[in-house]
Homo-oligomer: A and B are copies of this chain.
Amino acid sequence: MSPRARPAPAPVRVGLIGFGTIGTGVVKVLRAHRAEIARRVGRPIEIAAIADLDLTTDRGVPPAPARLTRDAQSLIDDPELAIVIELIGGYEPARRLVLAAIAAGKDVVTANKALLAVHGEEIVAAAEQRGVRLGFEASVGGGIPILRTLKEGLAGDRTVAVHGIVNGTCNHILTTMTREGRPFADVLADAQRLGLAEADPSTDVDGIDSAHKLALLTTLAFGVAPRFKDIPTEGIRHVDAVDIAFARELGYTIKLLAIAKDEGDGIEARVHPTMIPNGHLLADVGGNFNAIFVRGVALGPTMYYGQGAGSMPTATAVVADLIAAARDRAIGAAVRVPPWGVPQAQLRRATIRPLAALESEYYLRFMALDRPGVLARIAGVLGGHDISIASVIQRERHARGPVPIVIRTHRALERNVGRALAAIDRLPVVRGRPVSIRIEERLE
């Protein structure tokens, strides 16, 4: 695309470890946009070597001219490669390979949220020590450039809250349940058939993947270092179609949200099904899309929306990190922005507040026998635990079996809600386990 012929500068050579879904996308994107990328960087970016255990499956794109090998270590040992991409996922051998690549002085780009959420401190320490870049844009929000935004775009503000829909599988399942009124297990089975959910879906549907991403978002948004295992995490297995229907009646949509708030004296970070007001932009984020809603002190709310997964969208985030590293290298620059946005030693220490100390509005549903005075007894227990009622739905009357009593509370303490539900569960007229879902009213 250059207007005049000039000697082509040497390409930036990259090694790719993991030639799966995203890796294939990376090879495709780099080839399809080779000229545009060379215009941006000043030289082409080229995958020179690919390591994968499977050398035979047809990925729809030939590895050549890249050298294809089963030996990932050979990429790390190759002095021609400036950057190594890790896309094998999981903890090991990803951790070992990333650390080895850093030790060899290579910039590393990865999409591995689990690795960074759990071993981020060790890996970032190594990268800072060695003076190499560590890019992990693809680990959160797929192709949405949310990490770069937190580190650079919003660097002038102080971010105080993040509400994210960061797992496309869960959002697809909840959107479908909402639209079609079908139960979780059915919709999950369909999603598995369609390739939208894994055969073992627990990392997604139990909220673990969202918690991994939330750990990273929390660090980048607030400049703190939370411990991943301190993040309270609930998935969507227990979301019942009946609660989705009541939510709609009350003006809410149920989403699996990853929520982080900087309260000054403590950090709130949690993943759970959440009712959010219809009319809020997050409530309209459907299907397998992701969105991250960010509140800053000076900026107010901003939102970032896009495809949170998939081969090509995620590949664009990997390639954006490659371009950033290659742009730095083109001018011989040192590391400009540390992996967490601030040097790791400068992260504030902060503990995540225990969930028991959370204050929130709650949606509660009890299945109770349809007898006079039942609501009064439930309300009495709630009142006795300092929980005040905002509204009640008790529609079916004169039924034989238990009927639902739905209560929306005002702001209450999670600890009190837990105790009240346990007490209500012991009432003889109440059948089945009480259901509680947190409501997030103050999203704007």
A2: chain B residues at CB < 8 Å are 346
Contact of A333 among B32, B153, B302, B333 (CB under 8 A): B333
* Interface membership of A328, Cβ < 8 A: yes
Within 8 A of B (CB), among A1-33: 1-3, 25, 28-29, 32-33
Alpha-carbon distance A316/B157, docked complex (angstroms): 6
Within 8 A of B (CB), among A315-353: 315-320, 322-324, 327-328, 331, 333-337, 341-343, 345-346, 348
A33: chain B residues at CB < 8 Å are 156-158, 297-298
Given known contacts A156-B315, A333-B336, is B296 in contact with A302 (CB within 8 Å)?
A: no
A3: chain B residues at CB < 8 Å are 345-346
Alpha-carbon distance A148/B152, docked complex (angstroms): 8
Interface contact B300-A307, CB-CB below 8 Å: yes
Q: Can you list, as one digit per residue, whether each of A175-194 has a CB less than 8 Å from chain B (1) or not (0)? A: 00000000000000000000
Given known contacts A39-B342, A281-B281, A305-B281, is B323 in contact with A152 (CB within 8 Å)?
A: yes
Contact of A303 among B155, B158, B223, B305 (CB under 8 A): B305
Of residues A1, A152, A297, A331, which shows the largest number of chain B Cβ atoms within 10 Å of its Cβ? A152
Given known contacts A155-B40, A346-B39, is B284 in contact with A298 (CB within 8 Å)?
A: no
Minimum C-beta distance from A129 to chain B (A): 16
Alpha-carbon distance A131/B148, docked complex (angstroms): 24
Interface contact A158-B298, CB-CB below 8 Å: no
Q: Can you list, as one digit per residue, whether each of A138-165 has a CB less than 8 Å from chain B (1) or not (0)? A: 0000011100110011111110000000
Contact of A346 among B1, B335, B336 (CB under 8 A): B1
Contact of A317 among B156, B284, B343 (CB under 8 A): B156
* Interface membership of A312, Cβ < 8 A: yes
Q: Can you list, as one digit per residue, whether each of A284-322 has a CB less than 8 Å from chain B (1) or not (0)? A: 110000000000111111111111000011011111101
Interface contact A299-B312, CB-CB below 8 Å: yes
Alpha-carbon distance A36/B297, docked complex (angstroms): 13
* Interface membership of A258, Cβ < 8 A: no
Nearest B-chain residue to A324, judged by Cβ: B152
Interface contact B307-A304, CB-CB below 8 Å: no
A279: chain B residues at CB < 8 Å are 284
Interface contact A153-B149, CB-CB below 8 Å: yes
Interface contact A156-B305, CB-CB below 8 Å: no
Contact of A155 among B152, B301, B320 (CB under 8 A): B320
Alpha-carbon distance A3/B315, docked complex (angstroms): 38
A145: chain B residues at CB < 8 Å are 149, 152-154
Contact of A36 among B158, B285, B302, B318 (CB under 8 A): B158
Interface contact A156-B320, CB-CB below 8 Å: yes
Minimum C-beta distance from A392 to chain B (A): 30
Alpha-carbon distance A112/B67, docked complex (angstroms): 49
Interface contact A37-B155, CB-CB below 8 Å: yes
Of residues A143, A156, A304, A324, which shows the largest number of chain B Cβ atoms within 10 Å of its Cβ? A156
Q: Which 4 A-B pairs have the closest CB atoms?
A: A145-B153, A156-B319, A302-B306, A333-B333
Q: Which residues of A contact B (CB under 8 A)?
A: 1-3, 25, 28-29, 32-33, 36-37, 39-40, 42, 137, 143-145, 148-149, 152-158, 223, 279, 281, 284-285, 296-307, 312-313, 315-320, 322-324, 327-328, 331, 333-337, 341-343, 345-346, 348
List 24 A–B pairs whose Cβ atoms lie within 8 Å, in order of A's numbering: A1-B348, A25-B298, A37-B156, A42-B343, A137-B153, A144-B302, A145-B152, A145-B154, A149-B149, A149-B153, A156-B322, A157-B316, A279-B284, A298-B312, A299-B316, A301-B305, A301-B306, A302-B304, A303-B303, A303-B304, A303-B305, A331-B334, A333-B336, A336-B336
